[in-house]
């Protein structure tokens, strides 16, 4: 399949390992990522708090660029996914259309509203399909218990996001099973990571992250995995702060979703930037049964 690749800011900056892993997985599955160096930031849920109409227009421009190329959009970030999807819905309001359309006309990027925005999780589980994913696995992640952490904007508001249940999703766990890992069910998997207030009230943000990590750990997770690089910042980059606030050692490796898929497909840790994580991923990788899948007859 061909799809417009919308990496988002973090995957091009501090979360580059997410971009590396996405490209690895796309190549392995024959997904052609069409790049648009004129895509802008989605606003990340902050710009729309300052100016909703501007934020809708910014994302309508992004979607208009993809529409002109006749492509749907692939995201690798729950927040980008949410912001682009919400823009699509907010443009259904004629009053919003009336404000945004003239501005888009002035810059020569009209948007009719035909582009579908899909997160990599949806592409893997719906477009590619779990059977095809399973068929590509070279090294099943057997023995690794993983707590999926969805990221709010991928799921909610459910009326707009609409690809999985907003409170009781299952697609990420289905994907984890397909690559041989054992999904761990815990309440925190659909909760917030605290990122939106990391710069507003850090201690509260860290406490929220710490609680979700502790919840995953208490349910037996060896690692967590997230489809959102902002959650990754909260859960991995600031895990030291989170564990100080919740007052216990967490030591929880946190993978980006495509990193785990790439590992199961046979990627090496270097190819997908695992050394860039703040919490070492080695202990989790050591859980994977060594001979599994390497020689099925052995």
Q: Which residues bind other proteins (CB under 8 A)?
A: 9-10, 12-16, 37-41, 43-54, 57-58, 61, 99-100, 102-104, 106-109, 152-153, 156-158, 166-168, 187, 190-192, 194, 196-197, 199-201, 204, 207-208, 211, 237-238, 240-241, 275-278
Q: What are phi and psi of 30, to 5 degrees?
A: 70, 30
Q: How far is the CB of 138 from other proteins (least distance, A)?
A: 28
Task: Please name the residues in contact with 213: beta carbons below 8 A apart, sequence gap of 6 or more.
Answer: 188, 224, 235, 239, 242, 243, 250, 252
Please identify, using beta-carbon distances, which residue of 179 and 214 lies nearer to other proteins.
214
Please identify, using beta-carbon distances, which residue of 55 and 125 lies nearer to other proteins.
55
The three-class DSSP label of residue 68 is: helix
Please identify, using beta-carbon distances, which residue of 83 and 128 lies nearer to other proteins.
83
Q: How far is the CB of 68 from other proteins (least distance, A)?
A: 12
Instruction: Please spell the DSSP secondary structure of 253-268, one letter per residue.
Output: -EEEHHHHHHHHHT--
Task: Please name the residues in contact with 195: beta carbons below 8 A apart, sequence gap of 6 or more.
Answer: 205, 209, 230, 231, 233, 234
Q: How far is the CB of 145 from other proteins (least distance, A)?
A: 20
Q: What are phi and psi of 266, to 5 degrees?
A: 110, 10
Q: How far is the CB of 276 from other proteins (least distance, A)?
A: 5
Please identify, using beta-carbon distances, which residue of 33 and 104 lies nearer to other proteins.
104
Q: How far is the CB of 224 from other proteins (least distance, A)?
A: 17
Please identify, using beta-carbon distances, which residue of 22 and 44 lies nearer to other proteins.
44
Q: How far is the CB of 60 from other proteins (least distance, A)?
A: 9
Q: At what angle do helices 171-178 and 257-265 cross, to 10 degrees?
A: 20
Q: At what angle do helices 16-29 and 257-265 cross, to 10 degrees?
A: 40
Q: How far apart are CA 200 and CA 194, in angstroms?
A: 10
Please identify, using beta-carbon distances, which residue of 100 and 261 lies nearer to other proteins.
100
Please identify, using beta-carbon distances, which residue of 172 and 265 lies nearer to other proteins.
172
Please identify, using beta-carbon distances, which residue of 97 and 276 lies nearer to other proteins.
276
Q: How far apart are CA 75 and CA 42, in angstroms?
A: 11
Q: How far is the CB of 82 from other proteins (least distance, A)?
A: 9
Q: What are phi and psi of 196, to 5 degrees?
A: -60, -25
Q: How far is the CB of 139 from other proteins (least distance, A)?
A: 25
Structure letter (DSSP) for residue 13: T
Q: Cα dist. 282→180, 217, 223, 230, 259 in Å?
A: 18, 17, 10, 22, 13
Say if residues 250 and 242 touch (Cβ distance below 8 Å). Answer: yes
The three-class DSSP label of residue 129 is: helix
């Amino acid at each position: 399949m061909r799809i417009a690749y919308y990496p988002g800011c973090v995957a091009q900056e501090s979360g580059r390992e997410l971009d590396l892993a996405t490209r690895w997985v796309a190549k392995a599955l024959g997904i052609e990522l069409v790049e648009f160096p004129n895509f802008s930031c989605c606003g990340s849920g902050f710009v729309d708090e300052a100016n909703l109409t501007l934020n809708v227009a910014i994302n309508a421009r992004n979607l208009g660029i993809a529409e002109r190329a006749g492509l749907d959009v692939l995201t690798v970030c729950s927040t980008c996914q949410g912001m682009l999807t919400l823009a699509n819905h907010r443009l259904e309001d004629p009053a919003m259309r009336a404000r945004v359309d003239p501005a888009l006309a002035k810059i020569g990027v009209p948007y009719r509203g035909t582009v579908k925005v899909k997160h990599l999780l949806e592409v893997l589980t719906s477009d590619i399909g779990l059977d095809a994913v399973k068929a590509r696995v070279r090294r099943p992640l057997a023995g690794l218990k993983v707590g999926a952490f969805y990221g709010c904007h991928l799921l909610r508001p459910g009326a707009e996001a609409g690809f999985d249940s907003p409170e009781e999703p299952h697609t990420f766990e289905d994907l984890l099973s397909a690559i041989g890992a054992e999904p761990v069910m815990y309440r925190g998997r659909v909760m917030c990571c605290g990122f939106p207030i990391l710069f507003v009230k850090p201690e509260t943000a860290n406490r929220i992250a710490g609680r979700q990590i502790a919840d995953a750990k208490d349910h037996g997770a060896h690692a967590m995995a997230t489809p959102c690089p902002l959650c990754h910042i909260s859960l991995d980059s600031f895990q030291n702060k989170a564990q100080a606030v919740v007052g216990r050692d967490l030591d929880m490796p946190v993978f980006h979703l495509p990193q785990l898929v790439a590992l199961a497909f046979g990627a090496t840790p270097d190819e997908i930037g695992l050394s860039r994580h703040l919490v070492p991923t080695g202990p989790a990788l050591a859980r994977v049964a060594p001979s599994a899948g390497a020689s099925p007859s052995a």
